[in-house]
Structure 1
Amino acid sequence: MPDVGLLLPGTAGDEGTDDVAVLRALLTAEAAWVRAQAAAGLVPDGAADVVDAAAAGLAGTGASGRDAAEELAREVAAQAAAGGNPVIPLLAALRAAAPEHAATIHAGLTSQDVLDTALVLVLRDAARTAGADLDRARTAAARLARTYRDAPALGRTLAQAAVPTTLGARFAGWLAGLRAARDALASAAAGLPLAYGGAAGELSGVARLTDDPFALVDAWGAELGLPVPPGPWHTTRAPMTRAADALAETCAALGHVAGDVLQGVRPGTDELREPAAPGRGASSAMPHKRNPVLSVLLRRSALAAPHLAATVRTAAGLAADERPDGAWHAEWPALRDLARHAVAASRLGAELLDGLEVDAEAAARNLRAALPDAHGVGLAPALVDRVLAATDDRTEEP
């Protein structure tokens, strides 16, 4: 059954984390292994060309190719229960598409090598996509902080009136969180490694192919553009927990923005307004409403992400022996859903901040109403300057 994002509004069209994307990453990993063998002189270059073409055919390109890849994903998913993972039935399809090189495909590998490597590829691409949108969001947050650096506003703590601050200081807080999330995401993505080790993490299968198995593994990493760790990480799941944490942090940083916007758009506050778009924010029962949908969806992801990250960390803690018995399997959907939330939230957050409408006069009125005798805004403007300088976002926009 396809997952088209029906119950995850805001994710429709995000094809980088769906089942077809995972299927394509699995095929990419398998084809790259044959290319690595060819680069090491273990098989003819022609074998790599044939397997590349077979993998590309199964992965599909364009609308019709995607339909075929989606159908293959359905078939693989249906057959995966027999072996406990999708690599086994996908291998059968790839070998059937290149039967003359069936013995070369996957030679020396185990399913975990390929599935972990494929998930790394999906997570790396998702991190890059989310990172680009986070950069857009940071640029917009910096502009807001700079524009409203001195605009007085009511500081609120524990849901109550506190002391005067500025809108710019609030927006600078958003900027700092977004920058920290962007840094965490970039670091986690850069550290996502190739997975290798063979049947029990001892590389015996690769050693049967060549006298220099580590050179072959290095060649595989080079084909995929992935760093090669010193040893296997079949049951040492730090790469996945770090990725999960960074994805969850991304959702949290954007959730913070959403929380402030949801406060600012409330009737009686009226300091902020989400960007308008045809059909956005419509109510099925109350036509007068303009619901803050972007912030609602950002909060959705901020609520969902910690539990998904907790699943990945729980699975890491329950890894045992040379391959986890169920803990590894629990990671797959949690990681994929985390990536999906982070990608969608980053895009929605960038759109929100790009078009956010700010009413500085309403903010000043709210301050006067709550604290009529208050004067000054403390060091809020200076703090804005410090955040802008520290986050390298002080350059003038074109």
Structure 2
Amino acid sequence: MTDAGLLSPGTHRGDAHTDDTAVLQALLDVEAAWVAAQADAGLAPPAAAGAARAAARAEDYDAVDVARRAEGGGNPVIPLLADYRRRLEQLDPGAVRFVHRGLTSQDVMDTAMMLVLRRASVPLGRQLRATAEALARLVEAHRGTVQAARTLTQHALPSTFGLKAAGWLAGLQDLEQDVAGLGRLPVAYGGAAGTLAGSLALFPGAPDAAEQAVDLARRWADELGLGTPPHVWHTSRRPVLRSAETLGAVCAALGRIANDVLLLSRPELGELREPAAEGRGVSSAMPQKQNPVLSVLLRRTALTAPQLVAQLHLAASQYVDERPDGAWHTEWPALRELARLAVAASSHAQELTAGLGVDTARMRANLDASGPAVLAERISAALAPLLGPGPDGATGRQRVQAVVREHATDREGMLEALLDLTAGTVLADGTPVDRGLVADLLDPAGYLGANDLLIDRVLARHRRGADAPPAAPGTPAGAADHDAAGGPAGLTPRSSA
């Protein structure tokens, strides 16, 4: 049986870093890195580390066979270990005894999942940065492209497409630190019952065995490019939840872009259009159609991700004792699918934003079609204070609003009616209310609020982020990851002496 993605079109773009081969490779790398960490600590010969790495090639193993045998112990680590030991024995029989000692299956499985996420974060981050660059170009190019702002599906006020694209960009900027955190995930390290007893046994008779066991975890983390955890997290799942929330938020931010594109690319609006590509957007029954497939797939992902995040929260709430009994197993497919979806979605978004077509004339035409009533807020704010009560007792504001309602779609009619209503009035500075002033009030381009300031702030933030060097994988998230002496924080135990 295979899962080629027939029921999840487009997710193949994330397969290279999240499929079964990627998971298998991560599991092997975790085991090999543990041998290498022991060699670095002087507990194993350097040759054992070399052999352990040479034996850790996913293409040398049968993932289907490992998956079937995983039923026996409830996880894939157990059958894979047996295969790994056999292969390593062919390369270096003496190295076999260093494999997995002091570890438990959960240490390996959790650490491998963190490694899968870190590796998936590389294309994810790269594609999101490319998407941000494309959005920044759209923002700058269309800061003056007037269009209707819509609230509750209706035209509300004039705005610009540049400001809309700036909102998309800001949504990605808000996630930059969270996405960077996927490159600083922790190893899982606790042994059979979360006490580190198995690792302490590697240092028999040493008065500082506990400190050396924790230092071995640091060496292991360094080998893998991961971080050292602040505590044993066998049943405290914040690293998983934080990762899931980040991936879910990425899917949501990209889904927000897709929603706008889907709406504005409807033929009756026609303000945006997806980039064309051979074979994309075709219909089996209607050859004239060009469906916005990239946005459809992004929306699919945004609708799927929340349930996966919820599954992980549900699992975390069901952990018991020092090792879980079933809740842990539900994490693996949910977390892997989230990573797969997010990487694929970031690829789709990069392509969508880089080639997004913008019909500026249609944007202006759609805005104009809503008539001068779209400027009711501006007209009322400028003219209502100049008017006294009407013969019927209506306030100045009510008198202006009555004109706006009567001439909602008739610019010239509204212009004349407002001139009649305000005849003989002057502004606070003495400027008479004349045809030129009222005509300016009816120009949508003159009522864009803080458009330029808001756009400049987003672009400045983008430039600061683009100039900052990316954090190296495995770099600690901050000083909290290390104690004052520079060692790993949180896990540092007290000596039994």
- Asked whether the two chains share a fold, i.e. TM above 0.5, the reply is yes
C-alpha distance 25-166 of structure 1, shift in aligned 2 (>3 A): same
Q: Which residue of 1 aligns with 2:289?
A: 289
One-letter identity of the residue aligned with 2:54: A
Q: Which residue of 1 aligns with 2:35?
A: 34
SS in structure 2 opposite 1:112? helix
Alignment of structure 1 residues 317-328 onto 2, 5 Å: 317-328=317-328
SS in structure 2 opposite 1:391? helix
One-letter identity of the residue aligned with 2:277: A
User: Cα deviation per residue 1:180-237 (whole Å; 9 max; x = unaligned)?
Assistant: 12332113x1441011110000011111112321222221111112111232110111
Q: Which residue of 1 aligns with 2:67?
A: 77
Alignment of structure 1 residues 216-295 onto 2, 5 Å: 216-295=216-295
SS in structure 2 opposite 1:170? helix
Q: Is the 8 A contact 2:121 2:183 kept in 1?
A: no
One-letter identity of the residue aligned with 1:387: V
Give the Cα–Cα distance (whole angstroms) in 1 for the partners of residues 348 and 255 of structure 2. Answer: 11
Q: Which residue of 1 aligns with 2:189?
A: 196
One-letter identity of the residue aligned with 1:145: V
- Gaps of at least 5 residues in structure 2 are 204-208, 376-443, 468-497
Give the Cα–Cα distance (whole angstroms) in 2 for the partners of residues 176 and 309 of structure 1. Answer: 23
Deviation at 1:393, TM superposition (A): 6.7
Q: Is the 8 A contact 2:270 2:362 kept in 1?
A: yes
Q: Is the 8 A contact 1:168 1:381 kept in 2?
A: no
Give the Cα–Cα distance (whole angstroms) in 1 for the partners of residues 224 and 72 of structure 2. Answer: 29
Give the Cα–Cα distance (whole angstroms) in 2 for the partners of residues 366 and 381 of structure 1. Answer: 22
Q: Is the 8 A contact 2:187 2:229 kept in 1?
A: yes
Give the Cα–Cα distance (whole angstroms) in 1 for the partners of residues 137 and 16 of structure 2. Answer: 31
Q: Is the 8 A contact 1:151 1:166 kept in 2?
A: yes
Say whether residues 1:382 and 2:453 are aligned partners. Answer: yes
Q: 1:207 aligns with which of 173, 188, 200?
A: 200
The more displaced of 346-355 and 7-16 is 7-16
Q: Is the 8 A contact 2:12 2:344 kept in 1?
A: no
Give the Cα–Cα distance (whole angstroms) in 1 for the partners of residues 338 and 20 of structure 2. Answer: 14
Deviation at 1:395, TM superposition (A): 8.5
Give the Cα–Cα distance (whole angstroms) in 1 for the partners of residues 176 and 245 of structure 2. Answer: 12
Say whether residues 1:331 and 2:321 are aligned partners. Answer: no
Q: 1:86 aligns with which of 76, 89, 104?
A: 76
- Gaps of at least 5 residues in structure 1 are 61-67
- Structure label with greater radius of gyration: 2
Deviation at 1:390, TM superposition (A): 2.7
Q: Is the 8 A contact 1:139 1:393 kept in 2?
A: no
Give the Cα–Cα distance (whole angstroms) in 1 for the partners of residues 162 and 28 of structure 2. Answer: 48
Give the Cα–Cα distance (whole angstroms) in 2 for the partners of residues 335 and 158 of structure 1. Answer: 34
Give the Cα–Cα distance (whole angstroms) in 1 for the partners of residues 257 and 263 of structure 2. Answer: 10
Q: Is the 8 A contact 1:3 1:18 kept in 2?
A: no
Q: Is the 8 A contact 1:154 1:366 kept in 2?
A: yes
Q: Is the 8 A contact 1:258 1:296 kept in 2?
A: yes
One-letter identity of the residue aligned with 2:281: G
Deviation at 1:103, TM superposition (A): 2.4
User: Cα deviation per residue 1:273-302 (whole Å; 9 max; x = unaligned)?
Assistant: 000000110001100000000000000100
User: TM-score, normalised on structure 2?
Assistant: 0.75
User: Cα deviation per residue 1:48-75 (whole Å; 9 max; x = unaligned)?
Assistant: 222221113xx13xxxxxxx54xx1101
Q: Which residue of 2 aligns with 1:107?
A: 101
User: TM-score, normalised on structure 1?
Assistant: 0.93
User: Cα deviation per residue 1:18-53 (whole Å; 9 max; x = unaligned)?
Assistant: 000000000000000011111111121122222221
Say whether residues 1:128 and 2:122 are aligned partners. Answer: yes
Deviation at 1:370, TM superposition (A): 1.3
Give the Cα–Cα distance (whole angstroms) in 1 for the partners of residues 291 and 173 of structure 2. Answer: 28
Q: Is the 8 A contact 1:142 1:393 kept in 2?
A: no
One-letter identity of the residue aligned with 1:157: T
Give the Cα–Cα distance (whole angstroms) in 2 for the partners of residues 47 and 29 of structure 1. Answer: 15
Q: Which residue of 1 aligns with 2:481?
A: none
One-letter identity of the residue aligned with 2:28: L
